[in-house]
Amino acid sequence: MTTLTRPGPRLATLHRPRIRSVVAALVLLAFLGLTVWAFDDLQINVATLVDSAHNAVDFAGRAFPLTFPPVSEVLRLTGETMAIVICGTAMAVVISVVLAVLAAANTTPHPIVRYVARAVIAVARAIPDVVLAALFFGVFGFGALAGILAMGLHSVGMVGKLYADAIEKIDEGPRSAVRAGGAGRFQELITGVLPQVMPAFVATALHRVDINLRTSVLLGFVGVGGLGFEISNSLQTLDYPTGIALALIVLVLCIIVELMSGAIRRAMLHPKTTAPLARTSGQISPQWTFARIRKAFYVLLTVAIVVASVWGAHISPGQVAGALTALGRILPQSWPPSFVPGLFSALWDTIKIALASMLIGIVLALPLGALAARNVAPRAARYFRVLIVCIRGIPELVLGIVFVVITGLGPVAGALALGLSTIGFMGKLVADSLEEVDRDVEQALRATGAGRFQVFVTATLPQAAPAVVSHTFYQFDENFRSSTLLGIVGAGGIGFQLLEASRVLEYDVIGAIVVLTFGTVMVVELLALGIRRVVR
C-alpha cells in the first residue's frame, strides 16, 4: 500500500472544463461586460443624479398641490380602463385555451400542429402590446378596440404558454380512466383535464389582469382610452398637478386590483377544508353550503364583470368586423418594412436601457432577495418580502413619469425606472429560488461547523444559481419589452420612434419596428435557451 502524502505533479486537482461550459461562461461574461458598458455609456452615476436633484425640486413645485378631477370623472376613467383590461384578458384567455390544447404535448392532435401552436404563442410573446396598439390605433381610431386587441393578442404569449405547461403537467390517470369509459375526445378534455388545470388557469388569468392593468395605462399614450390617455394629455399640456394626481390613482388602482385578485385566487384555489358533507338518504343534489354559494357567487361575478366590460367598452360585432377589414387594408402597407435612419440606433438605445436596468435591478435584487429568503435570513425575511411586494406594486409608468421629470427626457430616466421595477420582480424570483433549494444539503454543511455565510455560498447559492440565471434572461426579455414601452413616455429608444411613426401613420416604419423587436426578443430567447442547457 502506498501512502499518498500529496498529489503528484500529474494528478490534476482541477477538472478540465468542457467546451460547452466555456462557451456559456464567455457568453455570460460578454453579457455582463455589455451591461456594465451600457450602464457607463448612459452616464448613470451619482453626479447625474445630483445634477437632477434641482429638477426634482423644481418639478415638485409645479406639480403640487395636486388637482384631482371630480369623483365621477375618476370613476368613469377607471371604469373605461378596467373594461379594456378585462376584455383584453378575457380575449387572451379564450384564445389561449384553444392554443394551449393544441400546443400541449399530451392533448395536441398532431406534432406539427403542436409546433405551429407553440410558434404562434412565441410570436405573440415577442411583439410588445404597445407595438401592436400603435399598429391597430391607426386602423380603428381612438377608443377601446385597438387596446383590447393589442393586449389580448400579446397576452396570449404568456397565458397560452403557461396554460400549455399546466396541461402538460396533469396526472394522466383520471384522463385515461375517462377514456377507458368510452368518452369522446372533447368529453375527455372537459372531465379528465379541465378540473386538474382549472386552478392554474384561474391563477394565470388573474395574474395577467394585474399585468394588463399596468400596460393599459401605458397604452393610453398611443391613444387607447382611459386613465393612461388622460395622463398623457395632462403631461403634454404640462398640466402636472392633474397628471401626477391621475398617476397616483393608477397606483392605488393597481394595489386594489392586486389585493382583490389575490383574495379571489385564494378563495377559489384553497378552499378552507370544511366539515365533510354528509349526505342524508333521499338527497340527490348537494346542499347549498356557504362555501358552495360563495364559489357560485364568484363564478357569476366573473361572468357579470366580463359581460359588463364588453358592454362598457362599446364593442359591437359590426365594429370588430369593420376593424378586421381595415386591418387587412393596413397590413400590406406595413410591408415591406422601411428601416429609416435612426431606427437601429434607437433599437440600440432600447437595448442599452434594458441592460442598464438589469444591472441596477440585479445588483440590488440579489442582496434584497437573499434577505427575503427564509432559509438565508430567518428573522428579517418577512420584512424584506413586504418591501419587495411594495416595490412590485408601483407601475412602471408611474416610475417612468417620475424619472422623466427628474432626470429629463432620455434613456437615463428609462433605465432608472426599469431598474427600480426590476428590483421588485427579480427580488421575488431570487428569494423564491433560494427558498426552493434542498435544505438537507445546508444542514449537512452546518453539521460540519460551517458558518452561516459559508453555508450560503457553498450550499444555497450553487443550488439556486441555475434558476437565478434563467430568471435573469427571462427578466432581460421583459425589460427589453418594457423599455420599448417606456420610450413612449419619453425615455427614448425605439418606443419613441414607434410613437412618432404611429402619429404620422407610417405603417412601414411600424412594420420595421415589429421586425426589429421581434428579432431581438428571439435572439435573447435562443441565447437563454442555450445557456439554460449548460447551466443546470
Measured from the CB atom, the residue of 168 and 508 that comes closer to other proteins is 168
| Residue 180 within binding range of other proteins, rule CB under 8 A | yes
* Closest by Cα among 333, 490, 486 to 397: 486
| Residue 448 within binding range of other proteins, rule CB under 8 A | no
For the CA atoms of 467, 468, 469, 474, the dihedral, rounded to the nearest 10 degrees, stands at 90
| Residue 526 within binding range of other proteins, rule CB under 8 A | no
Q: Minimum Å distance from CB 115 to other proteins?
A: 23
| Residue 513 within binding range of other proteins, rule CB under 8 A | no
Measured from the CB atom, the residue of 106 and 443 that comes closer to other proteins is 106
Q: Minimum Å distance from CB 275 to other proteins?
A: 10
**Residues binding other proteins: number (CB under 8 A):** 32
Spatial separation of the C-alpha atoms in residues 167 and 195, rounded to whole Å? 11
Q: Minimum Å distance from CB 167 to other proteins?
A: 15
Contact code string over 225-264 relative to other proteins, x by CB under 8 A = ----------------------------------------
> For the residues of 433-482, what is the DSSP string, one character each?
HHHTS-HHHHHHHHHTT--HHHHIIIIIHHHHHHHHHHHHHHHHHHHHHH
Contact code string over 62-81 relative to other proteins, x by CB under 8 A = --------------------
Q: Which span (97-105, 125-133, 153-161, 173-181) binds other proteins, by CB under 8 A?
A: 173-181
| Residue 167 within binding range of other proteins, rule CB under 8 A | no
| Residue 204 within binding range of other proteins, rule CB under 8 A | no
| Residue 5 within binding range of other proteins, rule CB under 8 A | no
Measured from the CB atom, the residue of 178 and 203 that comes closer to other proteins is 178
Q: Minimum Å distance from CB 196 to other proteins?
A: 7
* Closest by Cα among 536, 533, 433, 509 to 135: 509
Measured from the CB atom, the residue of 282 and 341 that comes closer to other proteins is 282
Tell how many helices (H) and how many strands (E) occur in the chain: 22, 0
* Closest by Cα among 391, 378, 364, 362 to 469: 362
Q: Minimum Å distance from CB 296 to other proteins?
A: 10
| Residue 422 within binding range of other proteins, rule CB under 8 A | no
Residues 276-335 that bind other proteins (CB under 8 A): 276-279, 281, 284-287
Spatial separation of the C-alpha atoms in residues 147 and 145, rounded to whole Å? 5
Give the residue, chosen from 57, 190, 304, 505, that forms a contact with other proteins under the rule CB under 8 A: 190
Spatial separation of the C-alpha atoms in residues 465 and 504, rounded to whole Å? 47
Q: Which span (92-100, 113-121, 186-194, 487-495) binds other proteins, by CB under 8 A?
A: 186-194
* Closest by Cα among 119, 292, 275, 98 to 201: 98
Measured from the CB atom, the residue of 294 and 533 that comes closer to other proteins is 294
Three-class secondary structure assignment of 198-239: HHHHHHHHHHHHHHHHHHHHHHHHHCCCCHHHHHHHHHHCCC
| Residue 183 within binding range of other proteins, rule CB under 8 A | yes
Measured from the CB atom, the residue of 195 and 451 that comes closer to other proteins is 195
Q: What is the largest CA-CA distance in the chain?
A: 92
Spatial separation of the C-alpha atoms in residues 182 and 1, rounded to whole Å? 70
| Residue 194 within binding range of other proteins, rule CB under 8 A | yes
Spatial separation of the C-alpha atoms in residues 392 and 398, rounded to whole Å? 12
Give the residue, chosen from 69, 79, 174, 393, that forms a contact with other proteins under the rule CB under 8 A: 174
Q: Minimum Å distance from CB 202 to other proteins?
A: 12
Cell numbers linked to 315: 364593442
Spatial separation of the C-alpha atoms in residues 353 and 482, rounded to whole Å? 10
Cell numbers linked to 257: 386590483
Spatial separation of the C-alpha atoms in residues 277 and 256, rounded to whole Å? 35
Measured from the CB atom, the residue of 203 and 244 that comes closer to other proteins is 203
Measured from the CB atom, the residue of 176 and 237 that comes closer to other proteins is 176
* Closest by Cα among 158, 143, 160, 159 to 219: 143
> For the residues of 40-78, what is the DSSP string, one character each?
HHTT-SHHHHHHHHHHHHHHHHHHPSP-PPPHHHHHHHH
Give the residue, chosen from 8, 70, 182, 317, that forms a contact with other proteins under the rule CB under 8 A: 182
Spatial separation of the C-alpha atoms in residues 292 and 276, rounded to whole Å? 13
Q: Which span (66-74, 166-174, 300-308, 325-333) binds other proteins, by CB under 8 A?
A: 166-174
Q: Which span (175-183, 227-235, 242-250, 429-437) binds other proteins, by CB under 8 A?
A: 175-183
Burial 484-520, CB ≥16 within 10 A → b, else e: bbbbbbbbbbbbbbbbebbeeebbbbbbbbbbbbbeb
- Distances from the Cα of 278 to the Cα of 275, 286, 287, 306, angstroms: 9, 9, 10, 35
Give the residue, chosen from 109, 173, 332, 367, that forms a contact with other proteins under the rule CB under 8 A: 173
Q: Minimum Å distance from CB 199 to other proteins?
A: 8
| Residue 98 within binding range of other proteins, rule CB under 8 A | no
Give the residue, chosen from 10, 46, 50, 186, that forms a contact with other proteins under the rule CB under 8 A: 186
Q: Minimum Å distance from CB 436 to other proteins?
A: 24
- Residues near other proteins, by CB under 8 A: 171, 173-174, 176-184, 186-187, 189-192, 194-196, 198, 273, 276-279, 281, 284-287
